[in-house]
Structure 1
């Protein structure tokens, strides 16, 4: 039967007691408060149904085979009674995970009753397996661990008591030794009577102890799996919460900058525009001053807006490059780079030998829209930065491609590029440098840019060695 994964309905807690009693309680899970239930109860109970039916069939068939070889020749009971008793012993396994302690009690009561009336039935191998499975299931699936300890302890006490009673009241040790033909001889080092007693105790101890230990180990394994799943879910929730808090914090910061910087310029523009409108009617020459102020303030507002956008796009270092390059409050910020500026990255790689190739028709690179060109530029910049920081490569190549032709119809991604594409590909031949793992935020930013434009990204190691970062973005329709 396939093993079902499990979940619980209460967290596990460590026992409060110390010493051997505390360790014993922890082993049995008495104070854990955790209940083991199947992850998919319908499927688990359906499997138990088929398991019980299979044991019933095997038990009945085994009974007939044993009867056919003379196993029951001294039993006066008719065959149909033997079949019924065998089936009755195996049938309760249908509910082994739904009612594990009840099943154990019923199965072992069957063992005692049938063992006292038709003992040869209980000695059949299929029913011996049934008794083992019932004890194992009770330990592995009992929800009330205190009740499990009581029921299992009582069952073991009765079983070993029944075994002792069989030796004392039944044929006895001497009778068993005589039946084995060992009354007058001693084949081994141990007396035959002592050997028979010790052997039966050893077999029964291994039988019952194996079932109990296997069931308890299964229960502990299920609880550990759930604890690991709970920890993973907690980590995932905390990560999502931290990401949400980071986004909220960044939005609040940008809102403050918009209010303190950009709103100021817009307010000045509104005031100066009103003054210029009034002056134009009476003294047009005097309106030149407020109009000049409007011109300066508008340019400054545009510069500040670019700084804020640069802060938003600066994923690699958390937006600090926008402030450093003249973002918020800086009037000297250069225009945003485009696809044509990728060739300049070869001069800013800090010792890395970079070859840049452009595969495009003349003027095609300059015709790439600014947002697309900026995304591709940032992609190449991030990829080369990763090569320099995290790879042993000494050389890298950057290929810029611009193709205005529509994608071929047989291309599975033709719907993404109906008007052509612009692409940047960065290749290196190095290996990951030990101990230089980054945060991964740069590549996350690359994928976010690709998703924004509806493009494709191929990021990962190459089969021939090295690493590849290739990003292809769709171009808009080329209108005159």
Structure 2
């Protein structure tokens, strides 16, 4: 949004209703003020009542439309102000307020800035010329304000003239200045809102892209870890069917079923990869990963070298894990320790626990860092990636600040499928 092309939006129906209410209240105030001025005899020969009533309406009623048509309203009220003063309508308080509001509104709500400046310039110049003409006429008329001394540079009459000029300059200058200030404030607010919306959209796009890229990485890892073993199962089952001699019919049928199941699994795996990649072009490396829970100590050592003390504990009797589960736990630990280095702050320590339970394997990474403050600063994209990895192998992920301080990442994965995959891999290795 270019600042020189910005146009302030008109207020809604509620704004127009407030303008109408303000104009009505100002009209009542102007009428009461006119009666008070008339009562104290402000003018020796005031305007008739009907003219005063028209002046009251002309000075205030147009303000109901001041933000809809600011330039037209300002011209109309300026003319009404001139007429009311020339014909001695007994009112000087609310009429000045109405004129100030009209000029201010042109500056604050004018949609065309050049037109707004021209309109205000014409009105202010005309009013100042009118003031100067009245001052000249007053100074030239010996019967005007006879009680005021005219002798000397700073006579009473000269002092009155200076006060009148300064007062009008401040009056019109204030209306011009505050109108421009209101317009600039509205423009800055609109620009800030637009930038905030753009940044929010950009964050959402980046989050979607990050999730898509992480899905792509998961797809590659699924292929690297699982596809090889499933393909070997199919090849070996087919070979066994051809050479097995004992109970050939039953063995052939059973092995044929294994072969068919293995090939079906490979087909389903490829369909899963296609879904996860969402037609993205895979230009990354196709090499299989060899990382797993056996490398947790190596990962911890790298973190120690980076300046964060880390301890590693293995609790329970280790059991064989499938390559996919082992690799997933390694990636969760890697991401958790990375977040510890980035967000936990100086002096923080981390504790990695790999816990083998009868029915599940659990990885827990806890630190003593800033906890909630770190959670507020992070983008959350790493957590999205960890959660998708764990869910992909049937597990659950828990992340968040600890009640006693620090941050906790806990991944829990059932052992049933992991044991099955690990046993089959060892059998056919």
TM-score, L = length of structure 1: 0.59
CA-to-partner distance for each residue in 1:30-63, whole Å, 9 max, x for gaps? Answer: xx3432114x512221221222222122222322
Q: Secondary structure at the match of 2:408?
A: strand
Structure with greater helix percent: 2
Q: Pick the aligned partner of 2:70 from 96, 100, 103.
A: 100
Q: Is the 8 A contact 2:34 2:90 kept in 1?
A: no
1:467: which partner in 2? 406
In the TM superposition, 1:184-203 aligns within 5 A as: 190-203=154-167
1:34: which partner in 2? 6
Deviation at 1:71, TM superposition (A): 3.2
Deviation at 1:167, TM superposition (A): 2.7
Q: Is the 8 A contact 2:293 2:330 kept in 1?
A: yes
Provide the aligned C-alpha RMSD in A: 5.6
1:45 aligns with 2:12: no
Q: Secondary structure at the match of 1:469?
A: strand
Q: Pick the aligned partner of 1:230 from 185, 194, 202.
A: 194
Deviation at 1:99, TM superposition (A): 1.0
Rate the CA distance shift 1:76–1:51 in 2: closer, same or farther, 3 A: closer
Rate the CA distance shift 1:61–1:344 in 2: closer, same or farther, 3 A: farther
Deviation at 1:333, TM superposition (A): 3.4
1:23: which partner in 2? none
CA-to-partner distance for each residue in 1:125-175, whole Å, 9 max, x for gaps? Answer: 222111101001012111233332332222223212322332344575755
Relative contact order higher in (CA < 8 Å, ≥ 6 apart): 2
Distance 1:202 1:377 in 2: 79
1:386 aligns with 2:339: yes
Q: Is the 8 A contact 2:224 2:287 kept in 1?
A: no
2:2: which partner in 1? 12
CA-to-partner distance for each residue in 1:94-135, whole Å, 9 max, x for gaps? Answer: 1111111111111111112212212432x2x22211110100
Rate the CA distance shift 1:429–1:255 in 2: closer, same or farther, 3 A: closer
Distance 1:55 1:153 in 2: 25
Q: Pick the aligned partner of 2:366 from 426, 429, 438.
A: 426
2:290: which partner in 1? 333
Q: Is the 8 A contact 2:107 2:183 kept in 1?
A: yes
Unaligned runs of 5+ in 2: 277-283, 416-429
In the TM superposition, 1:340-359 aligns within 5 A as: 349-350=303-304, 352-353=308-309
Distance 1:456 1:441 in 2: 15
2:33: which partner in 1? 62
Distance 1:130 1:344 in 2: 78
